[in-house]
Amino acid sequence: MRTLAFLFLTAALGSRAEPIKLHPLNPHYYSFNGKPTILITSAEHYGAVVNKDFDYIAYFDALRAYGLNYTRIYPGFLFEPMGKFMKGNTLGVKPTSLILPWARSQKTGYALGGNLFDLDKWDPEFFRRLKDFVAKAGERGIVVEICFYNAQYGDTWPMSPLYYENNIQSEGRCDYEDAQTLKHADLVRREDEYVHKITEEVNKFDNVILEICDEPYLTGTPIELAGPWIAHNIEVIKKTENTLPKKHLIAQQIEGPIGGPCDFTAHPDISVIVAQYAWEGGHEQMGGLKALDYEYDKNKPIDFNETDYYPAWYQGDRIAASRVEAWEFIVGGGGSFNQLNGLYTIRDPAGNTEENRQLLRALKGLHDFMYSFDFLKMRPDRTFVRDGVPLGAWARGMSEPGEQYAFYHHHSAFGRNAASFKVTPGKYEETFMLHLPAGTYHAEWVDTASGSAIHTQKFVHEGGGRSLKTPVHDVDIALRVKRVK
């Protein structure tokens, strides 16, 4: 009877179109297009809209081919010099291909060439491109996380239209450390207009999450100034959407001490908790795995929305290193995962290389693994594996006790600090002791590189301990156990 009621409620919730939201039956996940949803992707470096040379249709089609359903963009406040971090960086836009929310004036003098910006006028071409991008993503079942801000850098702020030398109003007369604070009223007003305008323009779309700021004090902004500025932006979004038909999820990254000025995880208007890097990034950026341990009880999706920049920042077997962070996070209870992927470029927007195909296959396998469960009924759980995880190995799991169990483990150490992993390949074979109630079960060991089941068994269990031996594996392996009805 409870299962039947659950199905009726799930069907009713999907009966009308509405923006992506927290799933009412389990708010660690999403409801999108009327279905329980986990967001999983490997995305370009956020420049797909501001870079006119980027073919986002080819990019979206590549994501869809692997069942990936999520991407992120920066809509104009921050972009980067060409070639920064990595050759082909889509956010490092060629000046003649740059398109931004603000219109150009008739006066020359912009830092990258061409005319200065007029902050009193919007560029219709930009908003046509933005809305077409979101629409084309939606047609393919892809959610767009629009991140308004990232911490400015010394080499990015002087290129911004809001920097005083680049606009005819001469507004934004401050250093980059102060660009995202409430110190300068003229700049705050222009930032409010920018957030308001983009929020207004994308309001009709259901496949949008609004994120306020990545890394708010990474580059020198005092944390005690960054926090109030974030709170102010929450209010700007709320006031804007209060006059509009649709209400979208708002996301914010946690940076700094738990409970500090930039911890908005408990804020009632922040629906999605953003974490970046595996365990921790620079300046106390809470990583995705750490957030599972410290923030899961907030009952919101945890969004691990930026990894190390692939492939440049990974060490050793970088394909495996990228795979293990995704699998551990999602099998541990994460709601959304984005691998930052530099293999998508202007020349190859679909990332059509064998290396990228291997990355995307592993994420498709992860997607298929999780969607093989009734994951809304599951919670993080490592207690059902009582013994067998080797010293130095990593493991996480989820369960609906007595019904379904997901388990994943890998052999790795931290690579670049604690931001990513460096795998330790070998020929591993372990025996895990599971604790299960009495019943008949079907168990499958899954190859995480492909998502394929490599060994299956059915067993009748009297309750208590049950040993299961893994197939030989090089780095990692996953286990799926379900009660046979």
> Which burial class, exposed, middle or buried, applies to 461 when counting CB atoms under 10 A from its CB (0-12, 13-18, 19+)?
middle
> Which burial class, exposed, middle or buried, applies to 485 when counting CB atoms under 10 A from its CB (0-12, 13-18, 19+)?
exposed
Mean pLDDT of 316-340: 99
Tens-digit pLDDT profile for residues 236-276: 999 999 999 999 999 999 999 999 999 999 999 999 999 99
Mean pLDDT of 429-458: 98
Copy the structure tokens of residue 461. Answer: 């269990």
The answer to whether the CB of 412 falls within 8 A of the CB of 423 is yes
Q: With H, G, I as helix, E, B as strand and everything else as coil, classify residue 96.
A: helix
Ranges of each domain in the chain: 2-368, 379-483
- Please count the CA atoms within 13 angstroms of the CA of 478 that sit on its side-chain side: 30
Pairing of strands 476-483, 404-414: antiparallel
**With DSSP H G I counted as helix, E B as strand and the rest as coil, what are the percentages for the chain, rounded to 5?**
25, 30, 40
324 closest CA partner among 341, 342, 337 = 337
Tens-digit pLDDT profile for residues 56-72: 999 999 999 999 999 99
* 379-483 CATH pick, 1.10.3470, 3.30.70, 2.60.40, 3.90.660: 2.60.40
Residue 168 has φ and ψ, to the nearest 5°, of -75, -15
- Please count the CA atoms within 13 angstroms of the CA of 332 that sit on its side-chain side: 25
pLDDT value, residue 16: 65
CB-based contacts of 394, cutoff 8 Å, min separation 6: 324, 328, 409, 410, 411, 412, 421
The answer to whether the CB of 300 falls within 8 A of the CB of 272 is yes
Mean pLDDT of 473-483: 99
Exposure string of 186-214, with b = 16+ CB inside 10 Å and e = fewer, is bbbebbbbbbbbbbebbbebbbbbbbbbb
> What mean pLDDT, rounded, does the chain reach?
96
| Amino acid at site 112 | L
Distance CA 250, CA 272 (A): 6
Helices (H) and strands (E) in the chain, counts: 8, 25
pLDDT value, residue 416: 85
Mean pLDDT of 152-169: 98
Q: Is the pLDDT of residue 9 over 90?
A: no
Distance CA 337, CA 222 (A): 28
Give the rounded distance of the alpha carbon of 286 from its chain centre. 13
Distance CA 366, CA 356 (A): 15
pLDDT value, residue 12: 47
The percentage of the chain sitting over the pLDDT mark of 90, rounded to a whole number, equals 95
> Which helix or strand (DSSP H or E) is residue 41 part of?
strand 39-43
Q: Output the CA–CA distances (angstroms, integers) from residue 370 to 28, 36, 335, in the order listed.
A: 14, 11, 11
Residue count (the chain)? 485
Give the rounded distance of the alpha carbon of 37 from its chain centre. 13
Lowest-confidence segment of 1-5, 232-236, 333-337, 379-383 by average pLDDT: 1-5
Tens-digit pLDDT profile for residues 83-117: 899 899 999 999 999 999 999 999 999 999 999 99
pLDDT value, residue 15: 47
Q: Is the dihedral of CA 447, 450, 455, 461 positive or negative?
A: positive
pLDDT value, residue 14: 44
Distance CA 277, CA 305 (A): 8
Copy the structure tokens of residue 359. Answer: 């990355």
Q: Which CATH architecture has domain 2-368?
A: Alpha-Beta Barrel (3.20)
Q: Is the pLDDT of residue 227 over 80?
A: yes
Q: Is the pLDDT of residue 7 over 80?
A: no
